[in-house]
Structure 1
Amino acid sequence: MASSAKRARRESGAGALAAFLEWCDRVGLVLSPKVYVSREGTVADYGLIAREDLPAGEVLFTVPRTALLSQHTSSISSLLEKEQDSLKSQSGWVPLLISLLYESTISNSHWGTYFSLWPDFSGLDHPMFWSEEERWRLLQGTGILEAVDKDLANIQMEYSSIILPFLKAHPDLFNPKVHTLELYKKLVAFIMAYSFQEPLEEDMEDEEPNPPMMVPMADLLNHVANHNANLEYSPECLKMVVIQPIRKGQEVFNTYGEMASWQLLHMYGFAQPYPGNRDDAADIQMLTLCKAALQAAKTDAEQQLVLEQWDLLCQMEMVGEEGAFVIGWEKVLTEEELFTALKVLGMSAEEFKEFKEQEGWANEMGENGNTDLTLSMIPTLKASWKKLLFDATLLTLQAYNSDLKAEEEVLINQQAFSKLSCREQFALQVRYGQKKILQQLLELASS
């Protein structure tokens, strides 16, 4: 039997959901009677379940633009527009974050009922909220540690240099004791996990990306790579539309994009169970390839050649200190960068001299002019290139503090897996998927 505390939380959640659905009616958000919002039968938290079979093309709900929460619809939109120059930031999120700081802490907010679905935003469990010890123990080698460190540094910088001066300049609207750094951090995670970014028109792709916005109802849908619904944009409204048939009782899934498992955990606080994420990928840091090349150099002259080659690759903008080569299940997603790096680093001193004199190299993946570097092509590369790729992949695998075989044993042992915490389970899925991709690359490069 559920404890009284659990029953109270469940009833509170049910009340918040009922109030939210009433709010949806008031603001003109139309939900099809063929689906319903539920916490039962979903992969996580709230989700949308089909009441009956749904064909492709079925509209599940329509959200009028007046129901969206953005810097343009917030009740302080005119102030944000007036002071937009002082709110510019690297992320571009500051105006929406200030909107959320204000709207989530006033009693009469138009979006108050919407916010009640996330009480105090305390349910967010991004790695940025984990302890340093937990992150180091569970996520070393995945790339998430570095991403979280950047996030936390940027959050601290934006809050102290942009947000706090703005709050203090408007004491009639904000109170630094209420609108704290901790709340700001939670709202950053809220935007990471639940916001949407409207794509630019094709003829405007060179423009700055649209700022993020909150889309009630759409943000309740969970993600899988093989999703069955898509959000469509029009000048009047946004619509969630079925893109492949959904059977009665099935969950409706949106997509957050082609996201590797480490990106899902970093930005959304979860990971798809292995091997469900067809978009999973593993990174080989570009500097790791340089390190592998330097380790293979036998003389000072050879090491100097590697450094000159790397410097030229940097000038060509093919590599960078913080860049990574991205390896998918079937192809290299950064094929031009990796191919060029292998080619240049594999040159003799004479070839490199000629390369510099020619001021470039024809960008061809092979004699047939193929522009994709699929994994099936790896065994056909030059032996020296494969050796360099093998060494870099091995160095990458050594960065993890866990063993692939031991993790595999936990994954296939349901009893052992169930004893892990949610954080441990998600981190294991991320690590295992990455290492399987890298192990596959290692085998191909050694053939």
Structure 2
Amino acid sequence: MAAPAKRARVSGCSPLAAPRPLPAGSSGGEPEADAVAGFLSWCTRVGLELSPKVMVSRQGTVAGYGMVARESVQPGELLFAVPRSALLSPQTCSISGLLERERDALQSLSGWVPLLLALLHELQAPASPWSPYFALWPELGRLEHPMFWPEEERLRLLKGTGVPEAVEKDLVNIRSEYYSIVLPFMEAHSDLFSPTVRSLELYHQLVALVMAYSFQEPLEEDEEEEPNSPLMVPAADILNHTASHNANLEYSADSLRMVATQPIREGHEIFNTYGQMANWQLIHMYGFAEPYPNNTNDTADIQMVTVRDAALQGTKDQTEKLLLHERWDFLCEREMVGEEGAFVIGCEEVLTEEELATTLKVLCMPAEEFRDYKERAGWGEEETEDESLAITNIPKLRESWKQLLRDSVLLTLQTYATDLKTEQDLLSNKEDYAKLSWREQQALQVRYGQKMILHRLLELTS
């Protein structure tokens, strides 16, 4: 699911295909050639059409299995087409009737329970038609999502990035969902779910796999319904990701089609996109980050309450503190801020421009002006040009706005365990960087990208 162009940071998951920094072999450890051959034969049987110009391979890819061009490909060329009958979803699995009948009982916060139950059933079915597809899955016990890191390591490496907090919410929700919905369902249908799949550990792994490998069909622009449920898309989930991708998945009534968006030379890898994903989102949901400065969609967060705290630092007495809290409550009522929200700063724009501009204005305006503004509830106000929060316009902001924004950035930087100079030294020394573990390298890229954005804000507000 592509992230919207302007978005407030919220916790949760947006499932899409993912790269894999891991060896495959979750369904029996078949040799690589046999696994690929079996998958290609399965594709033929189910009508999944692969262009003769592409091949599935572990050679020439950035991580694990991927797809590589056998011949040069031009923009607009079809790379493969997946018929909807070949998608693995609650509607296509072998217990689709049961899942449909029990749909109301399987409602959950994530909306993923029916797909997860479908996967749990198919994984242990002796003759599941999806077995050749499962053969290219990563090894479930070696997924690199931070939810599988020891808590101490997660906090040490990702403190300040927002990832530990997102993971903790995930773990609480996964456990609750499993014991309140999934396990009772499997026990009630024990003839369909063997004891081997009735495991919280396995459920954690499948949640991570769905988080990283499933797709979520976008709603039409005029639709205001709940997001579509995730589904597994064979072949499409083989593609690795980069912000500068060269292919894109298109949806039609009969099939899902991967189409080239840029020229792809012979021997070069084919990359999909997951949408506008910051590095903290990539590591949270997929277990990897793009090296700086490759991720042009990277962002840094300033917690909304941090801006409030920065404003409180400037109050002189109890009267000013009470007025500041009144302003904050007003912003909450206007749904411009929240206790768990964040202002999102991108490389080239403030993605939550309206929310941040309104917050800076309300917290910085004189008391009498605020009274008048509150009475009119701020409706119909037009922002002047010098109040624009385009990155390039930040130096032109009112001095009070710039000072509050700068103080908020400084408080945000204090939440990290290391400073920018320490991380610059690590990244600039190839030998030292190579000695880091995979997790240390990925976490460093997340922290560094965020700090570079924040330090640019410091420069612009000085």
Q: TM-score, normalised by structure 1?
A: 0.95
Deviation (angstroms), 1:104: 1.1
Structure 1 Cα separation of the partners of residues 276 and 398 of structure 2: 31
State the secondary structure of the residue aligned to 1:202: coil
Contact 2:279 2:295 in 1 (8 A): yes
Contact 1:292 1:391 in 2 (8 A): yes
Structure 2 Cα separation of the partners of residues 246 and 259 of structure 1: 23
CA 1:26–1:412 in structure 2 vs 1: closer, same or farther (change >3 Å)? Answer: same
Contact 1:340 1:363 in 2 (8 A): no
> Among residues 411, 420, 423, which one is paired with 2:436 in the alignment?
420
State the secondary structure of the residue aligned to 1:41: coil
Which range moved further: 424-433 or 410-419? 410-419
Deviation sequence 1:286-305 (CA, Å, 0-9, x none): 01001111111111111111
Is residue 131 from structure 1 mapped to residue 150 from structure 2 by the alignment? Answer: yes
Contact 2:30 2:135 in 1 (8 A): no
AA partner of residue 406 (structure 1): T
Structure 1 Cα separation of the partners of residues 187 and 382 of structure 2: 57
Matching residue of 2:289? 271
Matching residue of 1:259? 277
Matching residue of 2:404? 388
Is residue 325 from structure 1 mapped to residue 336 from structure 2 by the alignment? Answer: no
CA 1:361–1:445 in structure 2 vs 1: closer, same or farther (change >3 Å)? Answer: farther
AA partner of residue 445 (structure 1): T
> Among residues 298, 308, 316, which one is paired with 2:334 in the alignment?
316
Contact 2:215 2:231 in 1 (8 A): yes
Matching residue of 1:225? 243
Which range moved further: 231-240 or 12-21? 12-21
Deviation (angstroms), 1:10: 8.9
Deviation (angstroms), 1:85: 0.6
State the secondary structure of the residue aligned to 2:222: helix
Deviation (angstroms), 1:225: 0.7
Structure 2 Cα separation of the partners of residues 246 and 118 of structure 1: 25
Contact 1:164 1:176 in 2 (8 A): no
> Among residues 379, 384, 387, which one is paired with 2:395 in the alignment?
379
Matching residue of 1:116? 135
Alignment of 1:8-407 (within 5 A): 12-118=31-137, 120-204=139-223, 206-367=224-385, 373-407=389-423
Deviation sequence 1:366-401 (CA, Å, 0-9, x none): 248x8x621111111111111110011101011000
AA partner of residue 415 (structure 1): E
- Give the paired residue count: 437
Deviation (angstroms), 1:161: 0.8
CA 1:91–1:363 in structure 2 vs 1: closer, same or farther (change >3 Å)? Answer: farther
AA partner of residue 234 (structure 1): S
Is residue 445 from structure 1 mapped to residue 461 from structure 2 by the alignment? Answer: yes
| TM superposition outliers: structure 1 runs of 4+ over 6 Å | none
Q: TM-score, normalised by structure 2?
A: 0.92
Deviation (angstroms), 1:176: 4.8
Deviation (angstroms), 1:124: 1.5
Structure 2 Cα separation of the partners of residues 10 and 83 of structure 1: 35
Deviation (angstroms), 1:202: 2.6
Deviation (angstroms), 1:249: 1.2
Deviation sequence 1:250-272 (CA, Å, 0-9, x none): 11000011000010000011111
Structure 1 Cα separation of the partners of residues 273 and 383 of structure 2: 32
Deviation (angstroms), 1:123: 3.2
CA 1:176–1:10 in structure 2 vs 1: closer, same or farther (change >3 Å)? Answer: closer
Deviation sequence 1:277-320 (CA, Å, 0-9, x none): 00000000001001111111111111111100000100000000
State the secondary structure of the residue aligned to 1:203: coil
Structure 2 Cα separation of the partners of residues 187 and 13 of structure 1: 22
Task: Give the share of equivalent positions with the same residue, in percent.
Answer: 63
Contact 2:161 2:280 in 1 (8 A): yes
State the secondary structure of the residue aligned to 1:104: helix
Structure 1 Cα separation of the partners of residues 381 and 176 of structure 2: 41
Structure 1 Cα separation of the partners of residues 274 and 97 of structure 2: 30
CA 1:246–1:114 in structure 2 vs 1: closer, same or farther (change >3 Å)? Answer: same
Structure 1 Cα separation of the partners of residues 378 and 62 of structure 2: 50
Structure 2 Cα separation of the partners of residues 28 and 344 of structure 1: 59
State the secondary structure of the residue aligned to 1:352: helix
Larger relative contact order, structure 1 or 2 (CA cutoff 8 Å, min sep 6): 2
CA 1:34–1:303 in structure 2 vs 1: closer, same or farther (change >3 Å)? Answer: same
Deviation (angstroms), 1:361: 4.5
Q: CA RMSD in A?
A: 1.7
State the secondary structure of the residue aligned to 2:164: helix
Structure 2 Cα separation of the partners of residues 395 and 159 of structure 1: 38
AA partner of residue 115 (structure 1): F
Instruction: Give unpaired runs (5+ residues) of structure 2.
Output: 1-22
State the secondary structure of the residue aligned to 2:142: coil
CA 1:80–1:291 in structure 2 vs 1: closer, same or farther (change >3 Å)? Answer: same
Deviation (angstroms), 1:365: 3.6
Deviation (angstroms), 1:403: 1.8
